[in-house]
Amino acid sequence: MTPRFLPAALACGVLFAAAAASAQSAPDGKQISIQGANGAPACITCHGARGEGNPAAGFPQLAGIGAKYLDEQLEAMANGSRVSPIMAATARALDPAQRAAVASYYAGLPSPLDTDRLAATAMALAKPADTGAWLATRGAWDKNVPACNQCHGPGGIGVGANFPSLAGQPAAYIASQLRAWQQGQRPPGPLALMPAVATRLTDAEIDAVSAYYAGLPKAADLLAAQANPATGAK
């Protein structure tokens, strides 16, 4: 190699070394989810190997939830603006880059939800006596409560970066979060919508709409089977 090419070669070497060092130092969201980090336990302990959650224990599904939303929630739990006795220590143990890596990892996992079937449930006519379905699809306009689906999408499939999916989340988890907004234990979110909604719901209404969304995937499968018996059960 002639000397006149040496500076370029050195420059390339420096850039390669810098890129390699950056790659090595970047947190691995999947590894953190499996092994934990900085004394924090592995995420899969509560949220499942595929981010599917644990309905029986009330731990929510994370797979397919937007990275921005997940990162904001981890930050809120770390700084205490979202009160979470279970998650606070874990969120604080992770540094911002690690929280972002974990959020990105779970956002990239395939959601277990059948969004087409779930969206189709929004077309079913709810009866006023079915409080959960009525609140989800129609709202309670007599007390300025919009339909949950207006923000969270038809069938609670989630919309954009700020409105996560609700379908299939544990009823106990949804209810606990609505009550957290009632008590000022979660950041208000976009336009401070959720505290305004939650404070206008009764305990019975919270339980009803939480149970509705928790059971919606099974209800969606049943609706599909009724509409097309030949393929609905697949």
Residue 3 lies in a domain: no
User: pLDDT, tens digit, for every residue of 64-77?
Assistant: 999 999 999 999 99
Specify the CATH number for the domain of residue 155: 1.10.760.10
In degrees rounded to 5, what are phi and psi of residue 145?
Answer: -110, 110
Q: Which of 24-33, 34-43, 109-118, 132-141 has the lowest mean pLDDT?
A: 24-33
Which residues span the domain enclosing 123? 115-227
My answer on whether 125 and 78 are in the same domain is: no
Both tokens of 45, joined, read 């302990």
- Please enumerate in sequence order all residues whose Cβ is within 8 A of that of 135, keeping only pairs 6 or more positions apart, or say none: 145, 147, 148, 201, 205, 208, 209, 212
User: Of 70, 89, 108, which residue is a domain's last?
Assistant: 108
Q: What proportion of the chain, given as a percentage, has pLDDT over 90?
A: 85
The average pLDDT across 32-39 equals 97
Looking at residue 25, what is its pLDDT? 78
Cβ pair 113, 154 in contact under 8 A: no
My answer on whether 74 and 137 are in the same domain is: no
User: Of 75, 108, 141, which residue is a domain's last?
Assistant: 108
My answer on whether 221 and 124 are in the same domain is: yes
User: pLDDT, tens digit, for every residue of 78-97?
Assistant: 999 999 999 999 999 999 99
Handedness of CA 98, 103, 104, 108 (dihedral sign): positive
User: Of 108, 140, 165, which residue is a domain's last?
Assistant: 108
My answer on whether 47 and 97 are in the same domain is: yes
My answer on whether 181 and 166 are in the same domain is: yes
Query: Running DSSP on this structure, what letter comes out for residue 141?
Result: G
Domain count for the chain, please give it: 2
Looking at residue 231, what is its pLDDT? 59
Residue 15 lies in a domain: no
The pLDDT mean for the chain works out to 90
Residue 6 lies in a domain: no
My answer on whether 120 and 222 are in the same domain is: yes
User: pLDDT, tens digit, for every residue of 192-201?
Assistant: 999 999 999 9
The average pLDDT across 207-211 equals 98
Looking at residue 5, what is its pLDDT? 44
